[in-house]
Amino acid sequence: MSNLIKEKDQFSLVDQLAGESELSRGDLKTLIDTRNDNVAEYLFEKAREVRHAVYGRDIFIRGLVEFTNYCKNDCYYCGIRKSNLKADRYRLTPEQILDCCAQGYELGFRTFVLQGGEDPHYTDDLMTLIVTNIKSTFPDCAVTLSLGERSKESYLRFFKAGADRYLLRHETRNEIHYASLHPAAMSLRDRLRCLSDLRDIGYQVGCGFMVGSPGQTTDCLVDDLMFIKEFGPHMVGIGPFIPHQDTPLSGQPAGTLELTVFLLGIIRLLEPRVLLPATTALGTISPTGRELGVMAGANVVMPNLSPVGVRKKYLLYDNKICTGDEAAECRFCIQRRMANIGYHIAISRGDHAALQFQTSRESQVQAALAG
Ligand code: SAM
């Protein structure tokens, strides 16, 4: 971090970002490269103001069901990559997935996130059946899918079956950086094609990236932030890169808490209404990481609903937290943690603010027409 730029100038960049929800490439780079504790505190204060104006002090919870750790991909950073022969593989049946949701429903979850490796066992027919089952059993709940790259036809089938949202981190918006983290068979172009297909179909779409992944420069981060601004996602998932011992990137340093929360603050100001999780990876690199994420502008947490028996097997990185806890323990632990910092868990689907507004406006229009 350099001292060449005065703190006053950094504060005015934060003011500009808060006032206009955008900054030039150069200014974003300056803000990141010259950040210090005082500027970070100021950024978080502004991010909280914006977050409170849009979502109040509600924290949206998503029940995460990690339903398969089989994956046909070989991302260099990921613990469930195909080449990790030490990974103990598992798959959940449609019944087991529905049981997780039923338990989650009792605990107040109204969004279920089905996440897994890219596992061809879950054909379009099987995924359609799973989504249909969940939506018919819990019609007041949202279903988020996070299954990686599929064809537009597949995404359309899941959407027609009732899936509401889709999480697909772009991982990095920089071509060279992308190629350094993935084998040649994977491409940033395919990833971006999937994201635009999902948006065109009508999903609430989430993109995102790891903070501090090997080879990431400030320019890469600026590429990511400019992409977020241009794409306008409903959700952005960011969390620190954490090495996994059985991957090619095992010896690399993890991303930092400090930079991750700084970026959360920037993203909240860039996209005021975005759904922004304080991720499990953030909670893994610091015992209070998720709280600090919320204090920096995040408004979503994703406690785990996967059966305890498989939790230790969905290891994307080393030392992942909450792998031994029952769903109810995670749920109430999160509630306590959020209450300690002045926030409360909302029992709702927790849709993007634009859709909540649309829904209430639609009902107002309908009421007006009926009356
Ligand atoms: N297969 C789906 C996909 O590709 O989107 C979802 C599962 S994938 C494991 C979910 C996310 O985990 C990835 O988008 C990546 O950002 C994150 N992840 C994987 N390995 C990680 C690591 N070592 N540290 C932090 N995050 C990691």
pLDDT digits (tens, 9 = 90+) for 215-239: 999 999 999 999 999 999 999 999 9
Ligand 1 centroid to residue 208 C-alpha, Å: 10
Q: What is the pLDDT of residue 4?
A: 58
Q: What are the sequence ranges of the domains in the chain?
A: 55-370
Domain 55-370: give its CATH code. 3.20.20.70
pLDDT of 2: 47
**Residue with tokens 């899936």, as numbered in its chain:** 163
**Which residue among 167, 314, 316 is best mutated to probe the pocket of ligand 1, counting the most ligand atoms within 8 A of its Cβ?**
316
Please measure the distance between the N-terminal and C-terminal CA atoms of the chain and give it in whole angstroms.
Answer: 61
Task: Say if residues 256 and 212 touch (Cβ distance below 8 Å).
Answer: yes
Q: Angle 218-231/257-270 helices, nearest 10 degrees? A: 30
Residue 176 to residue 302: CA distance in whole angstroms: 31
Q: Which atom of ligand 1 is nearest to the CA of 118?
A: 1
**pLDDT number for residue 334:** 95
Which residues fall within 8 angstroms of residue 186, CB to CB, at 6 or more apart? 73, 75
Supply the pTM of this predicted model.
0.95
Q: Check residue 175 and give its pLDDT.
A: 98
Instruction: Name which residue sits closest to atom 4 of ligand 1, judged by CA.
Output: 148
What is the 78 CA–ligand 1 centroid distance (Å)?
6
**72 Cα: distance to centroid of ligand 1 (angstroms):** 13
Please list the ranges in the chain whose pLDDT falls under 70: 1-4, 357-371
